Structure 1
Amino acid sequence: MPSPPLAEYAAPRDCDLLLTGGHILTPDLEKTGRTVTYQDGAVAVDAGRIVAVGSTTALRGAFRARRGVDCTGRAVLPGFTDAHTHLFQSLARGLGEGMAIWPWLREFMWPYAIAVTAQDARVAARLGAAEAARAGITTVVDHHYAPTDTETILAVADAVEETGLRGAVARGMLGDRTAVAEARGLPTALYRYSTAEELRITAECLAARPAGSRVQVWPAPLNLSYGDQDLVRGAVEQARRADVRWHTHCSEGAKDPASYLDAYGIRPVAWLEKEGLLDERATLAHAVWLDEEEIAAVGARGASVAHNPGSNAYLASGTMPLAALRAAGATVALGTDGPCAGGRQDMFEVMKQMLFTQRLATLDPASVRCEDALTAATLGGARYTGVAPGTGRVTPGAPADLAVVDVSSTARHTPLHRLDSHLVNTAQSSDVVMTIVAGEVVFEDSRCTRIDEEELYAHAREHAAALTRRADITGHTFQGAPTC
């Protein structure tokens, strides 16, 4: 970890925030391939950025802090990026249990999504963003597709920002109905806009929330396997013009590539490559069922993937070929896939599931290590989104997006031998005691600092009750129809 040039300060320098006495952890892939820990360390923050990292003794002498925080017994690490979530799904948490991906979509999620109103979406986004802040997540990519008019998309982005987070609202688009969508039985009510209308609305949202915004808007074709090809082309062109990323569900279910191959004579990622659409702006959620050529293309084009091991296990969708994608050069981030595909937005749980699912798939406990999971959840996520260059590390000059985690106060935290392993295998989101975004404390003392959580929870319960009744999914016994 770089040491700050403290000797140049003849007198203490002012800073906004000084975290002292903690275990400072940061990825260090370029030098060691591992995480680096600074014992009895300190982090100085000023004007939204980390200005120094070093020993507590050195930084206490070098800085005069407007606020000091004793982090003894706590870990200070980069804030997490949730690289693929659906915040609007927070009002249906716990429903859809025990179903494979396609029945889950057809019988549960799509009826729910069709019934969501703009008011529901805003409340759900605030609820999901609050849950994220409480879990040490500082950046989210919210793949939002219910509803997607300009006003709602911007309201969702406002809700995320009001909570204090960074990120992107990836506007889910379907466009003109395709033969694949027809054959697979997507409900017509999902198709609210033509391809031209989808791109026009997205352009309006991009203009209102451009690159450089704390919460951006990204073009986001809903799913490569059944989306309109012209829509995908248009989305990629929009992302390039606007200098933002683009996002999509990619080969999540086992039959996604096959249905695309049947319709077009080519697999979906291979089509992106052939058309010159696969690029460094591509953020592909899931990427479970890729063949060798597609994996090579993702890496060669500098694309990124969001690994969602929890939801892939929850829906029995399969296991992403992590080792092959990493070997090909793809950037790998981690996602929760929202509150409905596993129960909660907890990146500690997702990191552990990354280890477990990959080790089970390979039958090799050394195939992926705790430092790989921590890196994917922090530095990998920062590179994946690009919304705040420099995040994902605890190092001077980086934006001050940090999570402070209690690793000392309960039986399961005793003893502490190796911090990175402990964070991945033992810690939980409830251990987060502070979340900092751009130098601002947005969660502390068991509460979000920017919003009234009790009022939010009351509104969420009201909206959830009305919404699930309206969608006719309250108490519904899902049949788990065969996949198609």
Structure 2
Amino acid sequence: MHATQPFESDGSLQCDLLFSGGRVVTVDGRRNVYEPGSVAVSGNRVVAVGPAAEIDARWQAARTVDCRGKAVLPGFVDGHSHLFQALARGMGEGLSIWPWLCEFMWPYSIAVDPEDARVAATLGAVEALRSGITTVVDNHYAPTDPDTVLAVARAVESAGLRGAIARGMLGRKTEVAAARGLPDALYRYSTQEELDITRDCMQRRPPRGSIVEIWPAPLNLSYVDQDLVRGAVELAAEFGTRWHTHCSEGAKDPASFSEAYGVRPVEWLAREGLLDERATLAHAVWLDDAEVKHVGERRAGISHNPTSNAYLASGVMRLRALRDAGAVVSLGTDGPSAGHRQDMFEVMKQTLLGQRQHHLDPAAVRCEEALELATREGGKYAGTNTGTLSVGAPADLVVVALDRPHLRPVHRTVATLVYSARGSDVEMTVVDGRVVLEDGRCVLVDEAALLEEAQERAERLVSRAGFDALRSPWQH
């Protein structure tokens, strides 16, 4: 890799960016941590990483970033979000998952218009970048006409974020959906129309044609048309993408599916040959032993969303069993309405605390594993090969300030990042070799104008959805 770089007259190698002298946490194959270390970037790839004295002596950069007193680590992957929900932050308090959906989220999503979705996605993308997220799998289902889906993808990419817009699909209204109270207004397209629209979006924004793809996303395994799931899996295979769905998030999900079809959701996927490494299943809290085994054997992806699972009291995912079985587990925020903050530092810490509390075992998960899930494993899950600082890896990285009272003293960098850091400590975010956040602010978006527009749209949207009472300053 080094040999392809042009030499300066003094024999040094040239690169575009050099992140020099920081505490470099690579999450590479050997889990190297260089203190101090440096990272060289040319174009959109990492071309060198190692001890600062060695790297700095060999490489000359068009721009050198002084990272002394800071941490440098791979960008985070958010395995499951809903950016359109950004305009409803802080509402829907005190409800479990199904009342939350039926009384709050479904009415809200029906009221969202295309411009609301675009502004919300931009706001969510900016928030993600500010907290060091460089890739997001955005499960978008309001509204899902092709123009809006593509506008959301453009908004995310324009902010500088990598990822996928997983287009939420419902199709034919099933008996399970009717029994569980999904409103008719959600059902705008037939099963075939859903698949045709998704295909159109994928053709108009071809995979690998940009840093933001379109994925098929049957909304929830427990209540969507089974033919829709089959069609989504076929689309993903045809276009070479992943596919995405909610899976067994609520305790009643497997039972309602079993009552209708005589089999549990993941068992059905495996039986039908639909479960493989292209599957990305959000939540997967209520899996039995056989389903855990199927997910692991097929190397399917799971997005663990501990903050939203705690907020909605949905339960605790079987993290150790799934990882031991071979599943690829990423971490997710579950968006601004159920997770409230797109902050992977918070999600990493919640992963640790939730698992330890559930198992009554302080060693159930360690901070190193939480960081791996948020970076390296997230890159596998999303199919981006991001999440490590290693030669040839995509140049998605984050610089985190360590010169703040809640972060000092630093004895172990990984522990400090996972237990003590927060999204607001991120000073710089680089995606695909491009600096998209500097000094804690997005460089590609007028943040002040965005915040003003988002507030105005949110207030109108909440009124349109009939939620003015939910804005009461103090609720009893």
Instruction: Give me the TM-score of the superposition, normalised by structure 2.
Output: 0.96
Q: Distance in 1 between matches of 2:12 and 2:443?
A: 29
Question: Is the CA contact 1:309–1:354 (under 8 Å) kept in the aligned structure 2?
Answer: yes
2:46 corresponds to 1:50? yes
Q: What's 2:107 paired with?
A: 111
Q: CA deviation at 1:5?
A: 8.6
Higher deviation after alignment, 7-16 or 411-420: 7-16
Q: What's 1:396 paired with?
A: 391
Q: Partner amino acid for 2:254?
A: P
2:185 corresponds to 1:177? no
Q: Partner amino acid for 1:25?
A: V
Q: What's 2:87 paired with?
A: 91
Q: CA deviation at 1:60?
A: 2.3
Q: What's 1:481 paired with?
A: none
Matches within 5 A, 1:460-479: 460-476=454-470
Q: Distance in 1 between matches of 2:158 and 2:5?
A: 39
What SS class does the counterpart of residue 170 from structure 1 fall into?
Answer: strand
What SS class does the counterpart of residue 27 from structure 2 fall into?
Answer: strand
* Cα separation, partners in 2 of 1:117 and 1:163, compared to 1, 3 Å: same
2:355 corresponds to 1:352? no
What SS class does the counterpart of residue 476 from structure 1 fall into?
Answer: helix
Q: CA deviation at 1:365?
A: 1.1
What SS class does the counterpart of residue 17 from structure 2 fall into?
Answer: strand
Q: CA deviation at 1:474?
A: 2.2
* Cα separation, partners in 2 of 1:64 and 1:253, compared to 1, 3 Å: same
Aligned mate of 1:125, from 121, 124, 133? 121
Q: Distance in 1 between matches of 2:307 and 2:300?
A: 22
Q: Distance in 2 between matches of 1:360 and 1:332?
A: 20
What SS class does the counterpart of residue 399 from structure 1 fall into?
Answer: coil
Question: Is the CA contact 1:85–1:337 (under 8 Å) kept in the aligned structure 2?
Answer: yes
Question: Is the CA contact 2:406–2:420 (under 8 Å) kept in the aligned structure 1?
Answer: yes
Question: Is the CA contact 2:6–2:14 (under 8 Å) kept in the aligned structure 1?
Answer: no
* Cα separation, partners in 2 of 1:61 and 1:177, compared to 1, 3 Å: same
Q: Partner amino acid for 1:169?
A: I
Question: Is the CA contact 2:5–2:14 (under 8 Å) kept in the aligned structure 1?
Answer: no
Q: What's 2:436 paired with?
A: 442
Q: What's 1:237 paired with?
A: 234
Q: What's 1:14 paired with?
A: 14
Q: Partner amino acid for 1:222?
A: L
Q: CA deviation at 1:210?
A: 2.1
Q: Distance in 2 between matches of 1:58 and 1:187?
A: 62
Q: Distance in 1 between matches of 2:142 and 2:329?
A: 27
Q: Distance in 1 between matches of 2:52 and 2:320?
A: 38
Q: CA deviation at 1:7?
A: 13
Q: CA deviation at 1:99?
A: 1.0
Q: Distance in 2 between matches of 1:397 and 1:101?
A: 42
Q: CA deviation at 1:473?
A: 1.1
Question: Is the CA contact 1:142–1:169 (under 8 Å) kept in the aligned structure 2?
Answer: yes
Q: CA deviation at 1:447?
A: 1.2
Q: CA deviation at 1:4?
A: 7.4
Q: Distance in 1 between matches of 2:358 and 2:6?
A: 52
* Cα separation, partners in 2 of 1:39 and 1:147, compared to 1, 3 Å: same
Matches within 5 A, 1:195-214: 195-212=191-208, 213-214=210-211
Is there any run of 5+ residues in structure 2 with no aligned partner, and where?
none
Q: Partner amino acid for 1:411?
A: P
Higher deviation after alignment, 466-475 or 423-432: 466-475
Q: What's 2:303 paired with?
A: 306
Q: CA deviation at 1:342?
A: 2.8
What SS class does the counterpart of residue 339 from structure 1 fall into?
Answer: helix
2:34 corresponds to 1:38? yes
2:342 corresponds to 1:342? no
Q: What's 2:152 paired with?
A: 156
Higher deviation after alignment, 442-451 or 244-253: 442-451
Q: CA deviation at 1:59?
A: 2.2
1:190-243 superposed Cα distances (whole Å, 9 cap, x missing partner): 111000100000000110122213100000000000010000000000100010
1:229-288 superposed Cα distances (whole Å, 9 cap, x missing partner): 000000000100010000000000000000000111111111101111011100000000
Q: What's 1:23 paired with?
A: 23
Q: Distance in 2 between matches of 1:231 and 1:8?
A: 51
Question: Is the CA contact 1:4–1:396 (under 8 Å) kept in the aligned structure 2?
Answer: no
Q: CA deviation at 1:11?
A: 0.9
2:453 corresponds to 1:456? no
Q: What's 1:287 paired with?
A: 284
Aligned mate of 2:252, from 255, 259, 266? 255
1:124-167 superposed Cα distances (whole Å, 9 cap, x missing partner): 00000000010100000000000000000000000000001110
Q: Distance in 2 between matches of 1:227 and 1:198?
A: 12
Q: Partner amino acid for 2:400?
A: V
Aligned mate of 1:219, from 216, 224, 228? 216
Question: Is the CA contact 1:6–1:62 (under 8 Å) kept in the aligned structure 2?
Answer: no
Q: Partner amino acid for 2:137?
A: V
Equivalent pairs counted in the alignment come to 469
* Cα separation, partners in 2 of 1:206 and 1:8, compared to 1, 3 Å: closer
What SS class does the counterpart of residue 357 from structure 1 fall into?
Answer: helix
* Cα separation, partners in 2 of 1:466 and 1:477, compared to 1, 3 Å: closer
Higher deviation after alignment, 77-86 or 360-369: 360-369
Question: Is the CA contact 2:119–2:454 (under 8 Å) kept in the aligned structure 1?
Answer: yes
Question: Is the CA contact 2:6–2:13 (under 8 Å) kept in the aligned structure 1?
Answer: no
Q: Partner amino acid for 1:19?
A: F
2:317 corresponds to 1:320? yes
Q: CA deviation at 1:343?
A: 1.6
Q: Distance in 1 between matches of 2:211 and 2:432?
A: 10
1:47-91 superposed Cα distances (whole Å, 9 cap, x missing partner): 111111122222222122111111011110000000000000000
Instruction: Give me the TM-score of the superposition, normalised by structure 1.
Output: 0.95
Question: Is the CA contact 2:92–2:104 (under 8 Å) kept in the aligned structure 1?
Answer: yes
RMSD: 1.7
Q: Distance in 2 between matches of 1:68 and 1:401?
A: 16
Q: Distance in 2 between matches of 1:148 and 1:240?
A: 21
Q: Percent identity?
A: 61
What SS class does the counterpart of residue 230 from structure 2 fall into?
Answer: helix
Q: Partner amino acid for 2:155?
A: A
What SS class does the counterpart of residue 219 from structure 1 fall into?
Answer: strand
Question: Is the CA contact 1:225–1:268 (under 8 Å) kept in the aligned structure 2?
Answer: yes
Higher deviation after alignment, 225-234 or 61-70: 61-70
Q: Partner amino acid for 1:198?
A: E
Is there any run of 5+ residues in structure 1 with no aligned partner, and where?
479-484
